[in-house]
Structure 1
Amino acid sequence: MKIELSENKVFFEKDGSKKEIHPFWLRERVNGDQYLDKGTQQRLFDPTELKNDIKIKKLNIIDNFLEVTFDDGAFTKIAIQSILKEFANDNDIKLIEKVKWNSSLKDFNYFKYNENFFEDKLMHDALIKFYQYGFVIFKDVPTENNFLVKFANSIGSIRRTNFGEYFDVKSKPNPNDLAYTSLPLAPHTDNPYRNPVPCIQMLHCIENEVSGGLSTLVDGYTVTEDLREKYKEYYEVLTKTKIRFQFVDDTVVLDSWAEMIQLDEHKKFKQVRFSPRLDFVPLMEKNKLELYYSARNKISELYNSDQYRIEFRLSPGDLLMMDNHRLLHGRTTYNANEGKRFLQGCYIDYDSTEGKLKHLQRKFNN
């Protein structure tokens, strides 16, 4: 893609086709001090109050900047790269390429916490790794006074659920979720019954005195890509069949209909949902259900296989941040009589990590 000028008009060329950029599109993007607030980047004018037939009086390109003077007297300099990026609909975060991984993964993306961590280059690097692998583990995070809340809110904002602002993961009587027992937890995604599903989960280890209770992770992206290549018919039915996920306790009933493998508008991986204790397929013809049940069994087999699962022990001060739309997590069994195992968890949304990373990119990459 490139920009061309001709007779006070601006054209962009892409894939051999040349089209004019509307002058008003450029006028909306004037960026001088009298037009744009430096801190918020909000316009200091209302574009709906301008005339739509605005024209360009003068054009020039100097040092990769487009200089434009409009017939209402406004002047601006716009970086050519920023114009091209808008036409390509580029999102710097989405351009971070996912890294497929399985049980052979050795680098678990550890980053050591420090007092200046949230504005540090280490946080920038950690978030890049998060978008590549779907998880990172922060070491030596303070365990006192529910520090998890401060940590999460320093990246973005906690997403409150019916479990609260944060939740304690430990054995307790009359639990409303198997997480609050010492039983093993098979690979699953959290809260598939919510609309929208929480994007990112944090689990902070406060105490861990047991030999079992290992944390497990599976890359749903890797598994579903392998399913697509090796079991295309199963992949198709799991990407096209909406099923009902449901959660019920004494105070709330939550349900949502969605595909087990959700694709984006380009038919690329977007999200997985998997929690077979909570899903209900709709009534369909017998042969369609036969295919669906076979597909669900196959993806469950893959999720639970040694080929894809990594296991590790969280020590006090370790904070695991994982992508709940991409990864499945679980836990091996443990003996509560050995001692305490206490984790605190919470959720944040993607705009938290995206906004933080864009801020840090602006800080360290410019």
Structure 2
Amino acid sequence: MQAGWHSLLRRGGNLLRHSARLVPPSARAGTTTARARPRALSTVPALRSVSTAATPDLTRPQPGLVKASQGHDTLKVWWREGEPDEFPYIWLRDNCQCPACFLDTASSRVSRVTDIPPNARPKEVCVSEDGASLRVVWEDGHEGTYSASWLHERAFNPTQQSIHENFYKLQPELWDSDMFQRIPRASFDELMEDDAALLKLLESMEVLGFTVVSGARQEEGELHRLSKRVSYLVPSHYGTTFTVKSKADPSNPAYTGKYLDLHSDLVFLHYKPCVQLLHCITQFSGEGGDSILADSHRVAVQMRELHPQKFRFLTDVLVNFRDFATDEGFQFDIIARKPMISMKPDGEIDTVNITTTGRDSHFCVPPKDAVGWYDAYLTLCDLLYRPDNHFFYKLEAGEILIVDNLRILHGRTGYQAFDGERHVQGGYWDWDMMRSRRRVLQRQLRGSPSGV
């Protein structure tokens, strides 16, 4: 679909405004199409500390055991405080912490699950006098000891599992165009020196999906410096980093001054990069060159609630995405086939795969399905381009825009490339490395659960 911004905006304006319960409302922005202009770093809100249930109350005493009793398949334990918990025998034996079963220096199980008796049962269970540990002697003579704090962190009750779920991955906050009034920001120098500032950045990225970093030098190489503090740069067929400038023979529409629809990057790769960085080295001084941002997960939720049948078209029909060009002397022809909205096994939205320029003309479906899919796609665009679902922000030289490429769509308003220069360097990070860094910093700075 080649429909541009103006026609989609007119169509989207005819839709009813959706419920604001997707995001806590802020003061309404009078005109959502106004550009968000950067302010001096000292006058803009810094990244907020994200409240996470994975951060324990360190003033509370460590959990202590009172007693334990054997059931049919589980061991029941009572705590000094709170409700009792049950632990399956097979789980306890599989997670024995003795040196023969667990390599402490690697935080890794070394025992083989096939060596566990299928009906493993304790012969003897004993709680230490101080309540700090539980000793289990199994019927085959194997013996293991579990600390009370280790058991408490891994309890099967909903509260403890929720805490670990939030340690595994912070819960996102879906947002609308009002977000331009509270853009999360960070200082490049602080990120390079202060672990607490870096942790706030990582938490904010998981929750809101984007951040603007100010104060980077106006030269290439800053993404490599920042990446040493966060994650490895993930290479693609455009290199470890790539330069976005207007070129005489562009291999990508981004290398022109044309308007770029809202999209996610490199959809034609099966391993679509998780996080994108765009370092503005030189910004176009005239009108245009503004970034456009939208929370695609919010829009997908709207689509599912308002148009469930059309939503299923976008989750079920496979679309061809292709990148066929030559860049820096390297020729490539990359194709991936995936739905426009990818779902997780639990029914939650995983990512929205949308790109006007990278969607191939080959469409391997019956004509009737193609017609239905286009109807669904245009409906999604109606929602996406409603004024309350996106905002504009013009990066200044020295700023780095970081976006969750699985969730946040970005675009660019057109500019007259022959009237001035616009120079941006881009790169990609991996969510596994970013979340790893966040968990390590949480443990170091806040004493969060070890998760091992």
Correspondence for 1:358:
439
Q: Which among 142, 155, 161 is matched to residue 84 of structure 1?
A: 155
**Secondary structure of the corresponding residue to residue 314 of structure 1:** coil
Q: 1:156 to 1:59 in 2, by over 3 A?
A: farther
**2:264–2:406 contact (8 Å) kept in structure 1:** yes
Deviation at 1:101, TM superposition (A): 1.4
Distance 1:172-1:219 versus aligned 2 partners, 3 A rule: same
Root-mean-square deviation (CA, aligned residues, Å) is: 3.1
Q: Please tell me whether residue 10 in structure 1 is matched to residue 75 in structure 2.
A: yes
Q: Which amino acid aligns with 2:397?
A: P
Please list, as runs of the form range in 1=range in 2, the aligned pairs for 1:217-228 lying within 5 A after superposition.
217-228=293-304
Q: Contact 1:135–1:320 at 8 Å: present in 2 too?
A: yes
1:257 equivalent in alignment to 2:337: yes
CA distance in 1, matches of 2:68, 2:126: 7
Worse-matched range after superposition: 203-212 or 170-179: 203-212
Decide whether the 8 Å contact of 2:322 with 2:334 is kept in 1. yes
TM-score, normalising length from structure 1? 0.86
Query: Alpha carbons of 1:30 and 1:170: their partners in 2 closer, same or farther (altered >3 Å)?
Result: same
Within 2, Cα distance between the matches of 1:232 and 1:354? 32
Aligned pair in 2 of structure 1 residues 77, 27: CA closer, same or farther (>3 Å)?
farther
**Do structure 1's residue 121 and structure 2's residue 196 form an aligned pair?**
yes
Matched residue type, 1:361: Q
Match of 1:233 in 2: 309
Asked if 1 retains the 8 angstrom alpha-carbon contact of 2:266 and 2:273, the reply is yes
1:244 corresponds in structure 2 to 320
CA 1:193–1:11 in 2, change beyond 3 Å: closer, same or farther?
farther
- Alignment partner of 1:99 out of 160, 164, 173: 173
Partner of 2:314, secondary structure, is helix
Task: Tell me the CA shift for residue 194 of structure 1.
Answer: 0.4
- Distance in 2 (CA, whole Å) between partners of 1:225 and 1:328 is 15
Q: Go from structure 1 to structure 2 and tell me whether the alpha carbon gap of 1:209 and 1:258 turns closer, same or farther (over 3 Å shift).
A: closer
Distance 1:108 1:86, change over 3 A: same
Q: Distance in 1 between matches of 2:271 and 2:444?
A: 31
Deviations 1:302-342 (A, max 9, x none): 32332312111111221111011111101111223443211
TM-score, normalised relative to structure 2: 0.71
> Residue 7 and residue 84 in structure 1: after superposition, are their counterparts in 2 closer, same or farther (change >3 A)?
closer
| Alignment check: 8 A CA contact 1:203 1:321 kept | yes
SS of residue matched to 1:287: helix
Greater shift, 74-83 or 211-220, is seen at 74-83
Aligned-pair identity in percent equals 21
**Is 1:274 matched with 2:341?**
no
Shift of 1:275: 0.9
Residue 262 of structure 1 aligns to a residue whose secondary structure is strand
C-alpha spacing 1:47/1:267, structure 2 compared with 1 (3 Å)? same
Which AA in structure 2 matches 1:305?
Answer: R
Residue 134 of structure 1 deviates from its aligned partner by 1.0
CA–CA distance in 1 between the matches of 2:376 and 2:240?
Answer: 36
Distance 1:258 1:109 in 2: 32
Q: Residues 142 and 289 from structure 1, CA distance in 2 versus in 1: closer, same or farther, beyond 3 angstroms?
A: same
Letter in 2 for 1:235: F
SS at 1:249 equivalent: strand
Aligned residues: 357
Shift of 1:168: 0.6
Moved over 6 A (4+): 31-34, 61-64
User: Greater CA deviation, 143-152 or 27-36?
Assistant: 27-36
Q: What SS does the corresponding residue of 1:333 show, helix, strand or coil?
A: coil
Measure the CA separation in 2 of the matches of 1:33 and 1:322: 45
CA shift in 2, pair 1:208/1:286, >3 Å:
closer
Q: What is the CA distance between 1:206 and its match in structure 2?
A: 1.2
2:125 aligned partner: 58
> Which amino acid is the alignment partner of residue 168 of structure 1?
T
1:180 is aligned to 2:255: yes
**Which amino acid in structure 1 is aligned with residue 323 of structure 2?**
F
In structure 2, how many angstroms separate the alpha carbons of the residues matched to 1:219 and 1:49? 43
1:140 aligns with 2:215: yes
Q: Which runs of 5+ in 2 are unaligned?
A: 1-64, 79-84, 448-452
Tell me if the contact between 1:93 and 1:354 (Cα under 8 Å) persists in the aligned partners. Answer: no
For structure 1, which segment, 157-166 or 77-86, has the greater mean C-alpha deviation from structure 2 after superposition? Answer: 77-86
Change in Cα spacing, 1:238 to 1:209, as seen in structure 2 (3 Å) is: closer
- TM-superposed deviation, 1:91: 3.3
